[in-house]
A and B are shown apart, each in its own frame.
Chain A
Amino acid sequence: MNGRPAFFASALRVFDFSLGQMLWSRRSVFLALLVGAPVLLAVVVRIFAAAGWLPIVNGTQVGGPALFGVLMWLLFVRFVVPVLGVFYGTSLMADEVDDKTITYLFTRPVPRASVLLGKYLSYLACVVLLLLPSIVIIYFLVVPIGGSIGQGFPQLAADLGMVAVGVAAYGAVFAFVGAWLKRPLIVGLVFAFGWEQTVLLIPGYLKRLTVVYYLQALVPHAMPQESALSLLMTAFQDLPPVWVSLLCLAGIVMLALWLGGWAVENREYVLEQ
């Protein structure tokens, strides 16, 4: 009757009941906006395409596959995935503290780190399950504009994998930040949109201390070379091989979760009276 569940069994139990809480949390509105806005944008693009209003670069119209690639590069890799990581990752423990429900989890015979892992897994499931279908919808809306759906499928699969890996990596990093700091959101935003964006433009080794550096290596699309973005993109051409990126991202996930678990085990969570 008074057994003690193993670490991963505990994490799975926390995952079990956290998933429903997460889907119905106040952040769901935010997630719906982030997931729905790109779909709306794709609908608008499709309407413009039907009316013959497509951007022209070097005298030729930009096709659907190239537009989809730009959306993946600039919207998802550089914005949606980090934003989701920051807002969900930093709140994994903070929401329980703010709602004062953390007491119920920390007065059970489960390692505190397993609570973080369970909540991280529920974040992963929740975000991936909502984000990937939205990308698939965008693909079906945008790629047929001058492109072939069938030919682009391998790239779509790679895109979905890349986004899932990005969600996992950013989520783990910000789960650690959330477990470690009292006011993690500001730090998370500064990291995602200050440090990552700035360092990426600086030549040298510093960019290896970002998540986006490795994530970009997984993007299967070539950037449009003659577009207004080409100058900006030249800064990103120094990319590691895919296998190195995958290895580094896996390392980032494991290290961040380990550090997050350590922080949760050792930190006192003082609830506001």
Chain B
Amino acid sequence: MAAADIVISAEHVSKWYGQVIGLNDVILNVPRGITGLLGPNGAGKSTLMKLVTGQLKPSKGILKVLGEPIWQNAPIFSRIGFCPEQDAFYERMTGLEWVTALVSLNGLGEAASQEMAARAIETVGLSDVAGKRIGAYSKGMRQRIKLAQAIAHDPELLILDEPLSGMDPLVRRRIIRLIKDWGRAGKSILVSSHILHEIESMTPNIVLINQGRILAEGNVHQIRDLIDEHPHTVYVKADDTRELARRFLADDHVLSLKFEEGAVVVQTGRPDVFYARLTELAASSELGTIHEVTSPDDNLQAVFQYLVKS
């Protein structure tokens, strides 16, 4: 791979937190386009994300982003947009105020910052609530406003840490489409997730990480088959969970169902079919609103355990 085609390169990068190893001797070249970083919680995804966004300094090795070292390199952030995993905001600010304030740190004037912020907010579909306090946003809206601040200054590299977490199926579909559009528009995107199905719907180019090590990278179609052998659990929070469960029961791919407070937890053998069906139901609005869809990482953990053993 030519150096110009690499947006992130790690040469024997390790990161220790005292006695704990976060990343262990990682060698990685992330090419232009969309790359998915896949691994269960505690795999080292967050550490890698923090390293490639210059929040942490490698204990060992060389890490370059867009051809330059990232640690203590503030100017490079005019070319990078970052959507962090944590649900943290200045809650009293409105969405527009918050994104405007952050965009203005890119050296833009008030008017230009506000214009770019408004455009980004429109892109993620939050224009109607841009004047509302972030504290009053739903989880999905909060995820989207985080995305807006990442894209507002039109960066060439987007780093998205679990960007679809907590979004309802329709918004999830919209954001996946957006990410693919950005990729097609020539932007490079590194997107992390613990859900293979999510990553697969954006890109075939995947980096697998577990226990601080890169297990594999490239076009990993075999993982697709593995995931089918392991039941995938999905937590769906909706207005009418009983009716939702009734519809799912008719589907072959649904292995089990259980109710939790305001939600139904579904185990499926075919996550792609399940998510498509869920999106259809959400789009039809027959069963009221589907508020939140999340998936615990134990699905992927099982696959990874299988991979490590084999």
Residues of A in contact with B (beta carbons under 8 Å apart): 1-5, 9-10, 13-14, 16-17, 20-21, 24, 99-101, 103-112, 265-266, 268-271, 273
| Cα A273 to Cα B161 with chains together (Å) | 14
B306 within 8 A of A: no
* Residue in A1, A14, A111, A273 with the greatest tally of chain B CB atoms within 10 Å: A1
Interface SS of chain A: loop
Which residue of A4, A9, A21, A103 contacts B84 across the interface (Cβ within 8 Å)? A103
By the criterion CB–CB under 8 Å, are B101 and A13 in contact? yes
Q: Sample 27 A-B pairs with CB under 8 A, ordered by A number.
A: A1-B106, A2-B107, A2-B153, A3-B107, A5-B107, A13-B101, A13-B104, A16-B101, A17-B90, A17-B93, A20-B92, A100-B84, A101-B88, A101-B89, A103-B55, A104-B84, A107-B53, A107-B77, A108-B106, A109-B74, A109-B77, A265-B72, A266-B72, A268-B55, A269-B55, A270-B17, A271-B86
**Chain B residues within 8 Å of A14, by CB:** 105
| Cα A106 to Cα B102 with chains together (Å) | 11
Residue in A closest to B22 when the chains form the complex, CB atoms = A270
By the criterion CB–CB under 8 Å, are B88 and A100 in contact? yes
| Cα A273 to Cα B105 with chains together (Å) | 26
| Minimum C-beta distance from A122 to chain B (A) | 13
| Minimum C-beta distance from B122 to chain A (A) | 17
| Cα A4 to Cα B55 with chains together (Å) | 19
Which residue of B56, B80, B105 contacts A110 across the interface (Cβ within 8 Å)? B105
**Chain B residues within 8 Å of A101, by CB:** 88-90
By the criterion CB–CB under 8 Å, are A2 and B79 in contact? yes
* Residue in A21, A103, A107, A112 with the greatest tally of chain B CB atoms within 10 Å: A107
Considering the complex, which residues of chain B in the window 87-142 have a beta carbon less than 8 Å from any beta carbon of chain A?
88-90, 92-93, 97, 101-102, 104-108
| Cα A159 to Cα B149 with chains together (Å) | 44
By the criterion CB–CB under 8 Å, are B92 and A3 in contact? no
Residue in B closest to A113 when the chains form the complex, CB atoms = B74
